[in-house]
Structure 1
Amino acid sequence: MKPEIATTISTLVAAPWNDYVLLDSGMGRKLERYGKVVVNRPEPQALWAPTLPESEWQKADAMFDNTSGDSDGDVGRWKINSRISDQWDVS
């Protein structure tokens, strides 16, 4: 006996969040804004070409470099631009 396959699709929609924006994605990365802070971080599912020029990506306040590591064996490291503080608000 074959298992029954669901024939309905459910869509989940989150409430609007004004302090988050996906600015661009592609080439395994995404460019996001949280409040006033722009981050450039890995996104393995972003297989397409980015829309924004590389110069816009380079302006990010923080970038996660997943090709670097440290002596503890951790893979990846945040490179933080001096323009942002240690704490920032997101609402």
Structure 2
Amino acid sequence: MSAKLIYTEVVETLQGSKANIRCDTLAEQLARLGFEVRDGRRGGHKVFFHDGISAFTSGSYNCGHGRNPEIKPAYIGKVLRILRQYEDEIIDFLERTES
């Protein structure tokens, strides 16, 4: 699968389920793009990093409480803005790791 197609699928998945995406799903989608998701300092907080994007330090979102809770739409919007901002770098990273 091409890097651009993977990127597009992830963005469309997040856009399409903006109001009801679960914490595990978001982490899986970010991992498809090469991000590493870790637990934050407080319960429910997640921090994500990408070693292939030099200008990007980290982003975060809050999963809330409970088992695999839904993420608030504002956090999904924040993640989507980051993905769009670094689209070229993410696709370039995916292409480099593909071969």
More helix by share: 2
Q: Choose 1 or 2 for highest CA Rg.
A: 1
Same-fold call, TM cutoff 0.5: no
Instruction: State TM-score, norm by structure 2.
Output: 0.24
> Per chain length, whose mean CA-contact separation is higher, i.e. which structure has more relative contact order (CA < 8 Å, sep 6+)?
2
More strand by share: 1
